Structure 1
Amino acid sequence: MFSRISEDIRCIFERDPAARNIFEILTTYPGLHAIIFHRISHGLWNLGLKWLARFLSGVARWFTGIEIHPGAQIGQRFFIDHGMGVVIGETAEIGNDCTLYHGVTLGGTSWQKGKRHPTLGNNVVVGAGAKILGPIEIGDGARIGSNAVALKAVPADATVVGVPGRIVTKKEAIIKDEKRQAIAEKMGFDAYGMPHDMPDPVAHAINCMLDHMHAMDDRLEGMCKSMKSLGAELSEMDLPEIDSCEISSAAERSEGDDGEAPIEKIDESKIVD
């Protein structure tokens, strides 16, 4: 048990840049306190001392704000960052090198006895506020995005986002990102810097616009090739570059003397009752 705890301490240095020394980790990290309590209570649970194990887990919850059922099986180098509000059910199984953030729930969807909580593979990262519900399997290296709700099995190295959770496959995302980057560079536009697995509404809208522009660009190129094959003469035309300096200077000129944008006067004759 002590060797596992020492591994838990070492992994904190690898995953938390705020960690400075072992004494600070031992005295101020509730995630480590919770896992130490769990190692002890899980041993008592396996020995048949179930009430004592549950009592110890309740004490740990009171001190750390993290609830881990003593029956849960947790692998090596497990890290709970911040930790407040984390709930791990009785039949949950967690592999090695997994990371959970605050507000995560590994819960069940049934009151029936037996396996009713999720199983996490190795190197799984679960973002803040995420919920993984039911006896589902999360593959090795999977990522569960913040506030996502996973109700179905997740394959290895996949990312789940949204409510209900949807899987974002890496291959499709790479192809889309390459197309978006190509059309954005052609336009002289710095694409909105959001990763493919972040469901930001502005990023999604801009990415959809770039996808549409790419499709229209391909169609126009095909039309030009067809017209040239019929003997038509078409002049080559490059897209004009967007000068960000001119845009910023124009925006500055539109501001008032005090640095605030001038207030546009309202024509009262245009107001309709």
Structure 2
Amino acid sequence: MASRMKEDMRSVLENDPAARGYVDAFLNYPGLHAIWWHRFANFFYRHGMVVFSKWLSQVARFLTNVEIHPGATIGRRLFIDHGAGIVIGETAEIGDDVVLFHGVTLGGTGKHKGKRHPTVKNGALISAGAKILGPITICENAKVGAGAVVIKDVPLGATVVGVPAKVVRLNGRVTQHTEPQVAELKRRLSEIEVELEKLKNNTQKGEDEQ
């Protein structure tokens, strides 16, 4: 237990440049406290004490402003930055070395039974306010932009943004969703350069005539 707690605090130090050592992480990071509370609640949940485990989760939500259902599966070194407003559903699964920012929801889409919440694979990063909905998968090392609403699987190493979320970068390359925007921007910049050149020539011509 002590080694896992130290590992959790080390994750804080590695992910947040504002952290000032283990004591700071231990005392002042509600996301860290929420993870520790969840481990206790999940233990009782897995041993059939569901009501008590949910009560522990409610206590944790009151203290940390992070709501994690005791049935959720969380891997190692999860870093929850700020924490405020995070909601993680019962059948959500989170891998190792995942980063969640404030306002993230790993939620369902209705009253379905069984697996109904997202799976977030190792190394994924979910930015502030993103909503990941349904039994979808955020693959390894994927990134979800702030405020995105994701209702489809996100490929390995992809970056998605928008409502609904679309892939804008895959394996370090801009995708077709953003290529037209980039092309339009380049066209407009070319037009501006032409206009500036005309203005420069007219100014030079006027000076020569004087």
* Fold shared per TM-score above 0.5: yes
Change in 2 beyond 3 A, CA 1:23/1:155 = same
Q: Decide whether the 8 Å contact of 2:168 with 2:174 is kept in 1.
A: no
Report the counterpart of residue 208 of structure 1 in structure 2.
184
Number of aligned pairs?
195
Which runs of no fewer than 5 residues in structure 1 stay unpaired? 177-195, 197-203, 217-238, 247-273
Map 1:1-273 → 2, pairs under 5 A = 1-170=1-170, 173-174=173-174, 208-211=184-187
Answer with 1 or 2: which has the greater Rg.
1
What is the rounded CA distance, in whole Å, between the counterparts of 2:171 and 2:22 in structure 1? 41
Change in 2 beyond 3 A, CA 1:160/1:4 = same
After TM superposition, give the deviation of residue 174 of structure 1 in Å: 4.7
Q: Taking structure 2 as the reference length, what is the TM-score of the superposition?
A: 0.84
What is the rounded CA distance, in whole Å, between the counterparts of 1:80 and 1:111 in structure 2? 27
- CA-to-partner distance for each residue in 1:156-212, whole Å, 9 max, x for gaps? 100110001111233684589xxxxxxxxxxxxxxxxxxx7xxxxxxx967623057
Which runs of no fewer than 5 residues in structure 2 stay unpaired? 201-210
What is the rounded CA distance, in whole Å, between the counterparts of 2:119 and 2:171 in structure 1? 25
Report the counterpart of residue 224 of structure 1 in structure 2.
none
Give the secondary-structure state (helix, strand or coil) at the position aligned to 1:24. helix
What is the rounded CA distance, in whole Å, between the counterparts of 2:139 and 2:175 in structure 1? 23
Q: Taking structure 1 as the reference length, what is the TM-score of the superposition?
A: 0.66
Q: Decide whether the 8 Å contact of 2:157 with 2:171 is kept in 1.
A: no
Change in 2 beyond 3 A, CA 1:85/1:168 = same
Change in 2 beyond 3 A, CA 1:173/1:47 = same
Give the number of the structure with larger relative contact order, counting CA–CA contacts within 8 Å between residues 6 or more apart. Answer: 2
Going by fraction, where is strand more abundant, 1 or 2? 2
Give the secondary-structure state (helix, strand or coil) at the position aligned to 2:113. coil
- CA-to-partner distance for each residue in 1:222-261, whole Å, 9 max, x for gaps? xxxxxxxxxxxxxxxxx8997xxx9xxxxxxxxxxxxxxx
What is the rounded CA distance, in whole Å, between the counterparts of 1:240 and 1:105 in structure 2? 47
Give the secondary-structure state (helix, strand or coil) at the position aligned to 1:169. strand
Give the secondary-structure state (helix, strand or coil) at the position aligned to 1:58. helix
Change in 2 beyond 3 A, CA 1:171/1:49 = closer
